[in-house]
Amino acid sequence: GIQVEQSPPDLILQEGANSTLRCNFSDSVNNLQWFHQNPWGQLINLFYIPSGTKQNGRLSATTVATERYSLLYISSSQTTDSGVYFCAVSGNTPLVFGKGTRLSVIA
């Protein structure tokens, strides 16, 4: 099956800093989504982005499907951005999740 690797596993930022989270996948996909799990455990869907670029406020994502990676950009980070960010991908199967990047934003 498809393998998903996320990097870095852990990231600590000062409030106001920018960051880039990476998701590599092992096969072609037609579905790629980014999720944020907040410190209370709630999973929120950030982007559906199997290819191209999308932006939502301070967050943006880019997927280069031909090179099998996706990037999540967080600009001007805030303490509320803390949590775990998951990338999930699929071809014609249910979504497979990476192990996540744990982000801690310090005031």
Partner 1 sequence: NAGVTQTPKFQVLKTGQSMTLQCAQDMNHEYMSWYRQDPGMGLRLIHYSVGAGITDQGEVPNGYNVSRSTTEDFPLRLLSAAPSQTSVYFCASSYSFLSTGGEKLFFGSGTQLSVL
Contact 7, 87 (CB under 8 A): no
Nearer to partner 1, 17 or 60 (CB): 60
Site for partner 1 in 45-104 (CB under 8 A): 45, 48, 86, 88, 90, 92, 94-100
Nearer to partner 1, 57 or 94 (CB): 94
User: Could you give the CA distance from residue 74 to residue 15 in angstroms, rounded to a whole number?
Assistant: 11
Question: According to CB under 8 A, which one of 3, 26, 30, 51 is a site residue for partner 1?
Answer: 30
User: Could you give the CA distance from residue 18 to residue 24 in angstroms, rounded to a whole number?
Assistant: 20
